[in-house]
Chains A and B, each alone.
Chain A
Amino acid sequence: MAHILQVLVDAVSLGSLFALVSLSIGLVFGIMRLINFAQGDFVTIGAYSLLAPAAGATPVLFLGALPWPLMLVLVLTVVVVLALLTERIAFRPLRNAEPATLLVSSFAVSYFLQNLVIVLYTSRPKALSLGAEISNVVNVFGLRVAGIQLLTIGVTAVLLVGISAFLRFTSLGLQMRASAENFRMARLLGVRANRVIAGAFAIAGFLGGVVALLLTVQTGVVDVRAGATLVVFGFFATVIGGMGSLVGAALGGFLVGTVSAVLQTILPADVRPFRDAFVFAAVILILLVRPRGIIASKSKERV
């Protein structure tokens, strides 16, 4: 019993991280039909903003040296500004392009940002211990839970509630939901495209910053590739959950997290390294059974 609960905690905390990523991809996709690969690089750059640009192996703190409330605000600001900039420079001119073109362009943006980090910081991973006191393992009802797992779950819960409240009760949120439903119709009814899309990118950037901080505390390493790996999982989660459905995106994140955590326990040790291959195969299977995801959005693919 305790074992099952332990797996459950792992599943939920991993799923939370994926859910935050898939939600930010889903938000942008719903409105623009853009699968934003660069979301992973928002996370990466968020993490790197804690350090000062330098080639050496010993990390030089930049934002990470500040008192934590200030650090929190600044890291989030950096990532939000970055998200808005990529939207303005790269994606706005392509707004009416086909989904395939948009996909390729976000691939290019992601490649650009990733190599920008390499030029500034080199591709060597850097150790960075941040908030060591949160990482300590605590005992909750006989379960061994790392503090950061609890924090991740808590933060995700708060953010999910906050974002759904935002989408439900504010005017901009309403406009974003309308745009996700039918962008052209929403524009005809007076929704400002630029504002809505910028809003979606700002939220995606905000979530990216949060993920960056949680991930850095959890792993203690800042790595160029970390964001990309995460985004691939988040990205598959969005697809499984149902492109364009935000509830689906969050659900997909938890599902992918659960599948990973469960496979990690049930697979025999010599097959365990192949775990991710099973997760990705499951993605293809789910797509075959439900091509539009678990929660298919009502609006059809635009012809």
Chain B
Amino acid sequence: MTEARDFCVRQFKAGMPVLCLVVPLALAALVADQYGSIGVVRSVTEALIKIVIVVGLYIFIGNSGVISLGSTAFMAIAAYATTWQTCCSMMKPMVMSGLPEFLKQTTVPFAPAAGIAIGLAGLAAFLSGFVLMRLSGLAASIGTLALLFIVNVAYSNWDSVTMGASSVVGIPTYVTVWLALAAAVLSIVVAYAFQTSRAGLALRATREDEVAAQAIGVSIYRMRLLAFTISGAVLGLAGVLHAHFLGVLSIDMFFMQLTFLSISMLVVGGMGSLAGAVVGVVFLSIVIEVFRTLERGILIGDTKASLPAGTQELVLAAIMLCVLIWKRDGIMSWKEITWPLMRRAPASDAGRGAEAPSR
């Protein structure tokens, strides 16, 4: 009996950091769905999709410590892939004349289309990672940035299949707040399973000290490649959601603006922990929502006061700089959320909080 109970308790404890993130998100979705206006539901759905994006980024950046500036490229790849399969069967042969015959003729059901798109994003991440992960540190960041620019230039000029720089419209919008919640939960579970797996721990070891990790037999290249691939697939999921949430698609949605926004969410929350990634999204989403409202203008007495367009971005950049200067480890300081009564922190976080950074 006690053994079985111990087992259950251990499992429960191990899953705690995930539960502590998932339960509040589910409650938020429930409250929005039951009591919120359409606008609120949309905002919550948007934030949940952002969580998928940032958790996807976190799987690579957080665990490896290498900043990838190009990961939104995989979102673009998946978003276009799912669009080619599901969008506008009437218009497709005309506006995307360059598509292969079978894609022009058939419309794939949503689920397999999403699966294929995610697979394609993962494959693209694997193939580009195959090359890029050989680079170290800053060179890797720059390599990924080059990747983002390559994908952007390619897709915005490949008129016959992407409609160039103009938007694709009429993509079926099937993403509800519940589907977005499911995707966010899935990405959180994947990220947590990865970071507590053998490979994830090895990668985190390379983040702390490359030389020492190599000395105990960890291949930095392989671990980074694995994380980059998983991260690419999760970003692919985000790309699919993004396309089927907005119903509109253009390549410039997945460029510097989104890259900056998602990286700042990760940095503000604290890029060393999964909780940091999620908390960063929630915090900045709220800030952005507040300033969007202020930019639209509010009534004070009889006069309508509004902030000039662009204020929201200025505030975002200022918050990010302040966090970098005064609280470099972000809101969560590289810690997961654990039950306050449990004394032992998960093994993966030991070390970071205790010792001062060696640099």
Q: Which residues of A approach B to under 8 Å, CB–CB?
A: 35, 90, 93-94, 96-101, 103-105, 107-109, 111-112, 115-116, 118-119, 122, 228, 232, 235-236, 239, 243, 273-274, 276-277, 280-281, 283-284, 287-288, 291-292, 301, 303
Contacts and interface: CB of A to CB of B under 8 A. Distances in A.
Contacts of B309: 118-119, 122
B256 interface: yes
B139 A100 contact: no
Contacts of A111: 260, 313, 316-317
Interface stretch (B48-56, B127-135, B221-229): B127-135
Contacts of B137: 99-100, 301
B157 interface: yes
Given A108-B264, A109-B321, 17 more contacts: A90-B325, A94-B324, A97-B324, A100-B137, A100-B138, A100-B141, A103-B141, A111-B316, A112-B317, A119-B314, A232-B149, A236-B146, A243-B138, A274-B153, A277-B153, A283-B142, A283-B146
A60 B263 CA distance: 37
Nearest to A235: B142
Interface of B: 65-67, 69, 131-132, 134-139, 141-143, 145-147, 149-150, 153-154, 157, 211, 256, 260, 263-264, 267, 308-311, 313-314, 316-318, 320-321, 324-325, 328, 359
A108 B154 contact: no
B138 A101 contact: no
B310 A119 contact: yes
Nearest to A285: B131
B324 A101 contact: yes
A84 to B, nearest CB: 17
A283 B309 CA distance: 36
| B interface secondary structure, majority | helix
Given A104-B267, A280-B153, A115 B314 contact: yes
28 contacts: A94-B324, A97-B328, A101-B324, A104-B264, A105-B321, A107-B263, A108-B320, A111-B316, A112-B314, A115-B310, A118-B310, A118-B313, A119-B310, A119-B311, A235-B142, A236-B146, A239-B142, A277-B149, A277-B154, A280-B150, A281-B146, A283-B146, A284-B143, A284-B146, A287-B143, A291-B134, A291-B139, A301-B137
B130 to A, nearest CB: 11
Contacts of A287: 135, 139, 142-143
A122 B313 CA distance: 13
Nearest to A119: B310
Nearest to B154: A277
A283 to B, nearest CB: 5
B318 A112 contact: yes
Given A101-B328, A119-B308, A277-B154, A228 B142 contact: no
Given A98-B359, A274-B153, A277-B149, A109 B67 contact: no
B146 A109 contact: no
Q: Which of A96, A119, A277 has the most CB of B within 10 A?
A: A277
B153 A99 contact: no
A288 B146 CA distance: 13
A291 B136 contact: yes
Given A274-B157, A277-B154, A107 B138 contact: no
Contacts of B150: 277, 280-281
A290 to B, nearest CB: 10
A99 B324 CA distance: 12
B18 to A, nearest CB: 27
Contacts of A243: 138
A90 B321 contact: yes
A103 B314 contact: no
A108 B260 CA distance: 8
B148 to A, nearest CB: 9
Q: Which of A104, A239, A292 has the most CB of B within 10 A?
A: A104
A104 B324 contact: yes
A188 to B, nearest CB: 18
